[in-house]
A and B are shown apart, each in its own frame.
Chain A
Amino acid sequence: MKTIPTEDALAQQAAAPAKKTVQMPVGVPGYTLQNEARAVPASEPPVWPINKDLKYVGQSIPRYDGEEKVTGRARYTSDIQLPGMLYAKFVNASVPHAKVLSVDTSAAEKYPGVRGVHVIQHEIGNAVLRNPALDAAKYPVVRYAGQPIAAVAAATPAAAQEAASLVKVQYDTMPFVVDIDKARDPGAPRVFPGAADEAGSAGGGGGPSDVQQTGNIHGPSVHTRGQIDQGFKDADVIVEGHFVTQVQTHSALETHGVVADWKPGMLTVWASTQGTASVREELTGFFKIPASQVRVITEYMGGGFGAKFGAGNPGVVAAALSKKTGAPVRLMLDREEEHLSVGNRPSSDQTLRIGAKKDGTLTAIHLIAYGTAGCGTGAGCAGPAQNLYQSASLHTEENDVFINGGPASAMRAPGHPQGAFALEQAMDELAVKLAMDPLDLRDKTDNHSVRHVERQVVRESDLWKSRNPVAGSDQGPVKRGVGFAQSVWYRFVSMGSSAEVRVHRDGSLEVISAVQDIGSGIRTVMAQILAEQFGVPPAQIAVKVGDTNYPQGPDSGGSVTTLSLTPAVRDAAWQASQKFLADIAPSLGTTPGDLVLIDGEVRSRSGKCEPLSFRRAAAKMSGAQITAQSKRVPDYDPKKYLTYGGVDVAEVEVDTEVGRIHVRRVLSVHDCGRPMNPTQTISQINGGIIQGMSYTLLEHRLLDPVYGLMVNPDLDLYKIAGAREVPAIDVRLVEAYIGQSSTDASGIGEAAGVVSIGAAIGNAVYNATGVRIRQTPMTPPVVLAALRAAAAGKEQA
């Protein structure tokens, strides 16, 4: 069925009440699809049918900016070159904990080519003392090695680097701690002299500030449901485990950085960011200048994964240097700085107990979690324990442990890979104890309707059918195993998301929004929506994003972009199309309600006029341009469908002689609402799987306890997954309509595999070997140690 407006919407809008009731497709086609009524604002466009009945939306249209990217024409912040541009370089702390007594920049200032030096007075990113007087000083206290202290701007990158090395910093060093276990000790050196908090960010970083702090322990943040003691009394079976995960760094390929050009009356900043609006907000707040005098541009950005919100130290320092020198300043971090100072995924140390009845009904979930976000907060990881399963009782405690390490920031599904690593392995263990199939156990305790369908897809898969339910039954040193795990993420809507659509008299169409493309392909999706609305191919649509001169977009964090922005785009496109038809109808001798936009033409339902190409119809416009701007309307039924699910199955081979885990295949079944562009959605899920696998098996930020320095701040010793580690990935998208907006799109970035793959691998390793590994990264020494410990335990028994 093709959606065709059946009446003059403008007339209807004027006469209709504020709300109208519509029937919307809800559920999973082939499984649970049905129509549900929704009361929606009367101005909303007609309901779209499911994807198979749409022409452009839901199709794997090639990426809008694909050619720009494969030809190298795409311009990233690090590619921006302006006339007279200076290059800036940070001076970073060489010690992990110190008061800064003096910063002598005189030699740097005299260095040939140097145009300006800036000494940081206000550090961004670290947690902030509730009582700032406790360590008030001229310069911010150094809380981790690598903390920026000053910056130099010079005519060439080399001059900036050399001059930066001439800045003399005098430290009064203090005792430090970089190990989370030692930091929990009451006698450990204090990272902060009193309670300190880090406010939450748009992307989900930071943590609660209404909690106690004891020594370096910031917490607990407690959540309870029901009676936990009774829950364990009611349990027939209890599983308990201690799980430890490491710190991961985002390691986006393009480092953090900006080009700042401070001119009288206008600060223009090119930023490698996930939020043009967030950068502007921090700059206006920091420099006390109006939003109208700050413009932030992000044409392309080379990955963020949660770490790139706000201007941060690079943004404000580059802007300050540009103001000081009167020249544009580029400040891009180097790879080492990227590891040290702009965020990471916190570690976790989780003690998890689950109680269950014989039939698999959960009676109690009890989680005590510690984690370090360095000198920031945000190590909470109880999300999965709180939200995946129905349990008669729940008690979770989350604690941040301060260490002298760089502050964490949000990282792809903050807290959830850590939490799911523990929870989903514990559930697997519970299934073993109850002699239940892991999927059946979830059916018993998980009431999410889409994950129910996803498990059905898994059940029917060859990969799952090939699983030997008896763990460790392979003979020989290389053992094969298959494991299953689930994920959860949440539906967040960025309500300010807006877009403008323009119809030009030459028949060209454009859509603009300040939203930035972080690699998920929002440009393509915006073009598809206009194509669907105007009946012209997406290639004819101009999409302009990544500029705060355009209507406000969402910051891209927490899987909000597509689900927040696309309804605004569609509403604007719908309104523009209705204005357009109203404008040209008289010259065609008919009414707007008689006209439809389809297959590149304007057609009359009644045959009052001949079909006209869109371009020739546009030539009849009374003015040069028709525009419509729209802002996100609230979800139609905001109390419903608050979480997304996904399930992953991993097949591994464990070489029990050398301890190497090889992930051979992954089956990834994911809830993605209405997939706007399936191939782009699959790209994101592939990425979540690979990133999560990399985290589980390879990555580890190592801090040296003697000097407090990171020993692997690069990409050779900090190992991320490469082509040879990549498994064969089979992604199955589960179209899950929920009837929440005019596009009914959902998000996928966080739920995409990264949450559940670690536990799926852990469960597969158990299935292969009969040994459970509760620690990441599962490097060969960790695997061998676990195998030996299990063998020793068996001998003792």
Chain B
Amino acid sequence: MPRPTLLPSEEPPENSAVQDSTRTGISRRGFLKGAGLTAAGTALLEGVHSFAAETTPSPQNGVTELGPGPASVHLRVNGTEHALEIEPRTTLAEALRNHLGMTGTKVVCDRGVCSGCTVWLDKMPVNSCMTLAIDAIGRDITTIEGLSAAGEMHPLQAAFVKHDAMQCGFCTPGMVMSCAALLERNPHPSEQDVRQAVSGNLCRCGTYPKIFAATLDAANRTA
């Protein structure tokens, strides 16, 4: 099924979400799609504002119309600005994988239940399959490729290798991003904290015990 486009004409007349969209040019459905992640609503709004600032208001009603064709946007990924031509419906995961060739971020369920596509927006982990790329404008996007600086593995990545916290490896980038984000906000997690942090990350090989062990080990080393 085609994803919703971003034309204001799609909008139902009176409701608060529409007022939001009138201000920013983001459709309610598009907005909700972007907001479909845990506790990310506020942060997303900020992204929406920066997007609005980048685009030109249309003369008639102050609404920026965008799409369905490609639009020029800039994304800041791992500290580097990238210019992209993307349709507004493009998810952040698609932009990273298909447009920027950064395929470390995996798409597994494509509906926000497995966290295989986890990246950070300003250090907050989000499901990039449920985030529109345009909602990430002006934010610091960190992907698995950006976690290891200058070829050195992040201590958590090193701990994953040491503890064999992977099998097929397909969930691994998402797991690493979730666990590294945990260590950013809580340098001394308990095992329960780790379980909580990856409670949305699915692994079919069943590597969870070693992911817990690796994350706790990394915390002990870096703390």
Interface residues in chain A, defined as those with a beta carbon under 8 Å from any beta carbon in chain B: 60, 62-63, 65-76, 78-79, 81, 157-158, 161-162, 165, 250-254, 300-303, 305, 334-335, 518-521, 679-680, 682-684, 686-691, 714-716, 720-724, 726, 728-729
Q: Do the beta carbons of B113 and A70 come within 8 Å of each other?
A: no
Kindly provide the distance from the CB of A384 to the nearest chain B CB, expressed in whole angstroms: 22
22 contacts between A and B (CB under 8 A): A60-B164, A62-B161, A65-B169, A70-B176, A72-B143, A74-B169, A81-B98, A250-B204, A252-B204, A300-B168, A521-B164, A683-B164, A683-B167, A683-B207, A686-B209, A687-B207, A690-B208, A714-B113, A723-B196, A723-B201, A724-B195, A726-B195
Is B166 part of the binding interface, using a Cβ–Cβ cutoff of 8 Å? yes
Q: A165-B1, A252-B204, A723-B201 are in contact. Are A70 and B168 (CB under 8 A)?
A: no
Taking a contact as CB atoms under 8 Å apart, the answer to whether B168 and A715 are in contact is no
Are A691 and B204 touching (Cβ within 8 A)? yes
B116 at the binding interface (Cβ < 8 Å): yes
Which residue from B89, B167, B172 sits with its C-beta under 8 Å from A687?
B167
Query: Does residue B53 face the partner (Cβ distance < 8 Å to A)?
Result: no
> Are A335's CB and B195's CB within 8 A?
no
Given known pairs A63-B161, A253-B114, the reply for A684 and B167 (CB within 8 Å) is: yes
* Range, interface on chain B: 35 or more
CA distance in complex: A79, B114 (Å): 18
Q: Would A79 and B97 count as touching, CB distance under 8 A?
A: yes
Q: Which of B11-19, B40-48, B57-65, B100-108 binds A?
A: B100-108
Cβ A720 vs Cβ B210 within 8 A: no
Given known contacts A71-B157, A253-B204, A715 and B169 CB-to-CB distance under 8 angstroms: no
The answer to whether B104 and A251 touch across the interface, beta carbons within 8 angstroms, is: no
On whether the beta carbons of A81 and B101 are closer than 8 Å, the reply is yes
B168 lies within 8 A of A302 (CB): yes
**Closest A residue by C-beta to B200:** A722
B153: chain A residues within 8 A (beta carbon)? 67, 70-71
Smallest Cβ-Cβ distance to A332: which chain B residue: B107
CB distance from B115 to the nearest CB of A (A): 10
Best-buried of A66, A251, A303 by chain B (most CB within 10 Å): A66
B162 touches A62 (CB 8 A): yes
Chain B residue, CB-CB nearest to A87: B98
Q: A71-B144, A161-B1, A683-B164 are in contact. List 9 more A-B contacts (CB 8 A).
A: A67-B157, A78-B103, A81-B98, A81-B101, A253-B170, A519-B169, A687-B207, A690-B208, A723-B198
- Check B164 against A253 for contact (C-beta < 8 Å): no
Contacts of B94 in A (CB 8 A): 157
For A250, the chain B residues whose CB sits under 8 A away are: 204
Among A71, A521, A723, the residue within 8 A (CB) of B208 is A723
With A714-B109, A715-B108 known as contacts, the answer to whether A162 contacts B208 (CB < 8 A) is: no
Chain A contacts of B49 at CB under 8 A?
A: none
Cβ A253 vs Cβ B145 within 8 A: no
Q: Are B110 and A335 in contact (CB under 8 A)?
A: yes
**SS class of chain B's interface: helix, strand, loop or mixed?**
loop
Contact A720 B199 (CB under 8 A): no
Any chain A CB within 8 A of the CB of B136? no
CB of B219 within 8 A of chain A?
A: no
CA distance A301 to B145 in the complex (A): 19
- Which A residues are in CB contact (< 8 Å) with B208? 686, 690, 722-723, 726
Q: Which residues of A contact B210 (CB under 8 A)?
A: 683, 686
B111 touches A70 (CB 8 A): no
Find the residue from B87, B103, B110 having the highest chain A CB count within 10 A.
Answer: B103
Across the A-B interface, the 7 shortest Cβ-Cβ residue pairs: A72-B104, A302-B170, A690-B206, A519-B168, A687-B206, A69-B169, A79-B103
> What residue in chain A is nearest B205 (Cβ atoms)?
A687
Taking CB atoms, residues of chain B closer than 8 Å to A722 are: 198-202, 208
A76 CB to closest chain B CB (Å) equals 7
A-B contact count (CB 8 A): 178
Q: A69-B172, A519-B167 are in contact. Are A303 and B161 (CB under 8 A)?
A: no
| Distance between A439 CB and nearest chain B CB, rounded to angstroms | 26
Tell me if A70 and B160 are in contact (CB < 8 A). yes
Most chain A beta-carbon neighbours within 10 Å: one of B162, B163, B172, B176: B172
**Which residues in A have their C-beta under 8 angstroms from that of B103?**
72, 75-76, 78-79, 81
Asked if B190 is at the interface of the complex by the 8 Å CB criterion, the answer is: no
Q: Residues of B contacting A79 with CB < 8 Å? A: 97, 103
Q: Which residues of B contact A157 (CB under 8 A)?
A: 94, 98
B171 contacts the other chain (Cβ, under 8 Å)?
Answer: yes
Cβ-defined partner of A254 (8 Å) among B143, B164, B168, B196? B168
A721 to B168, CA, bound (A): 17
B220, CB-defined interface residue at 8 Å: no
Contact with B106, one of A81, A302, A519, A684 (Cβ below 8 angstroms): A302
User: Are B109 and A335 in touch, CB under 8 angstroms?
Assistant: yes
- When distances are taken between beta carbons in the complex, the residues of chain B under 8 Å from A162 are 2
Contacts of B221 in A (CB 8 A): none
Does B82 interact with chain A (Cβ within 8 Å)?
A: no
Q: How far is the CB of B134 from chain A (nearest CB, A)?
A: 15
Question: Residues of B contacting A726 with CB < 8 Å?
Answer: 195, 206, 208-209
Query: Is the CB–CB distance between A76 and B170 below 8 Å?
Result: yes
Q: Taking CB as reference atom, which chain A residue is nearest B159?
A: A70
Q: Kindly state whether residue B80 has any CB partner on chain A within 8 Å.
A: no
User: Which residues of chain A have C-beta atoms less than 8 A from B145's C-beta?
Assistant: 71-73
Residues of A within 8 A of B167 (CB): 303, 519-521, 683-684, 687
Query: B173 at the A/B interface (Cβ < 8 Å)?
Result: yes
Interface 0/1 of B48-76, CB less than 8 Å to A: 00000000000000000000000000000
Contact assessment for B157 and A70 in the assembled complex, using a CB-CB cutoff below 8 Å: yes
Of the listed residues A301, A716, A729, the one surrounded by the most CB atoms of chain B closer than 10 A to its CB is: A716
With a cutoff of 8 Å between Cβ atoms, the chain B residues found around residue A714 in the complex are 109, 111, 113
Q: A251 near B204 (CB under 8 angstroms)? A: yes
Least Cβ distance of A413 to chain B in Å? 14
Indicate whether B148 reaches chain A with its CB closer than 8 angstroms: yes
Would A300 and B169 be within 8 Å (CB), given that A63-B161, A158-B2, A715-B108 are in contact?
Answer: yes
Of all chain B residues, the one with the shortest Cβ separation from A156 is B98
Does B3 touch A at the CB level, under 8 Å? yes
A519 to chain B, nearest CB (A): 3
For window 73-103 of chain B, which residues contact chain A by CB distance below 8 Å? 87, 89, 94, 97-98, 101-103
Q: Which residues of A contact B207 (CB under 8 A)?
A: 683, 686-687
Once bound together, how far apart are the Cα atoms of A720 and B204, in whole Å?
8
A250 to chain B, nearest CB (A): 8
In chain B between 187 and 223, which residues have their CB closer than 8 angstroms to a CB of chain A? 194-196, 198-212
Measured CA separation A460–B109 after assembly (Å)? 43
Q: Pick the contact of B171 from A253, A300, A688 — CB < 8 Å? A: A253
